[in-house]
Amino acid sequence: MSIGSRAVLTLTLAVGVVAGCTSDERTAEPQMAEEAAYTQPQPAAMEATPATPSDTGQTAMTEQQPAPAPPPPAPMTEEQIFAVLDAANAKEIDEAKAVVQKSKNKDVKAFATMMVTHHTDAKTKGTKLAKKLSITPDASFDKSNALKEDTTKQVETLKAAQGADLDKAFVDLMIADHKAVLELIDTKLLVDAKNEELKAHIQEIRPVVEKHLKDAEALQMKLSTSGAGGGKAPAGTPGAAPNQPGMQPGAPGMTPKEPAAAPGASAPGSKPGGSKSGSAKSSANP
């Protein structure tokens, strides 16, 4: 190869290298720019717009607002009132009958007997009044049916109890029953009853129910203080005489018995060595 050809070839290669470098630089610039774009920190995500004071207050009020109160129960009809009264009376009768023959406590037996008598009378009057007013008690009313279901449950419980446990369970139940009936009378029956005769009947039985409650509470107190044993003193109680429950030494009607004097001993109050006549005179004139 001639020197001229070599020079041309060398020049051509030099131009190609320069052109390649320039091309590589141009190609690298976008890549470097793109890489720089990736490596630069991205702008933070759009921050939530801070709540204004008015918005904050409105949110707090919404969170603190109480739930709406449930609607008041619908007024009871006369058919429903008669059904409830009948079920309540039957409840007291059935529960008392479960106790009156089993209890050994005379006070509990007397109270149970009174429950049967009074509530049978009230039940009979209610039935007669419903017939007079041509009103048929609503047998499907949920409140009266709930009373019937509870009656069955409580009677089974009383039948399974014995002794003092039976007495306590019965008296506690009577207190709970009569409190519930009084509340029902005051908050629903007298409020919802529109018929004047029906309202008069409810007003008539209310003081009787209240008296039953007070009697039951008094009986509960008596059972708790006497140990639910009918008032008899426990065996071995000092000063307790047979058939005299609760008598204690020094109680009214009990005179302490003085021990008999030993043979030859002087009578109380006589002087030692006193004459027989003096002793006789002393005993004749206390």
Within-domain flag for 35:
no
Structural domain harbouring 205? 78-226
Write out the two tokens for 133. Answer: 């007013």
Number of domains within the chain: 1
Coil/strand/helix, residue 59 = helix
Within-domain flag for 46:
no
Within-domain flag for 240:
no
Within-domain flag for 29:
no
Give the distance, in angstroms, between the CA of residue 225 and the centroid of all CA atoms in the same chain: 25
Within-domain flag for 178:
yes
Whole-number pLDDT of residue 267: 44
First vs last C-alpha separation in the chain: 179
Coil/strand/helix, residue 224 = helix
Within-domain flag for 284:
no
For residue 156, the tally of other CB atoms under 10 A from its CB is 10
Crossing angle, helix 78-100 and helix 142-160, to 10 degrees?
0
Whole-number pLDDT of residue 226: 80
From first to last of its 286 residues, the chain has per-residue pLDDT tens of 544 555 445 545 444 544 454 455 555 455 554 554 445 555 554 555 555 555 555 555 556 778 888 888 899 999 999 999 999 999 999 999 999 999 999 999 999 999 999 999 999 999 999 999 999 999 999 999 999 999 999 999 999 999 999 999 999 999 999 999 999 999 999 999 999 999 999 999 999 999 999 999 999 999 998 864 444 433 333 333 334 333 333 333 343 444 444 444 444 444 444 444 444 344 334 3
Whole-number pLDDT of residue 61: 57
Q: Residues in the chain, how many?
A: 286
Within-domain flag for 63:
no
Q: Quick one: DSSP state of residue 66?
A: P
The widest CA-to-CA distance across the chain, in whole angstroms, is 191
181 vs 89: CA distance, rounded Å: 10
Whole-number pLDDT of residue 283: 39
Condensed to tens digits (0 to 9), the pLDDT of residues 112-139 reads 999 999 999 999 999 999 999 999 999 9
**CATH for 82:** 1.20.1260.10
Whole-number pLDDT of residue 241: 38
- Tokens 């009373």 -> residue: 147
57 vs 62: CA distance, rounded Å: 9
Within-domain flag for 112:
yes
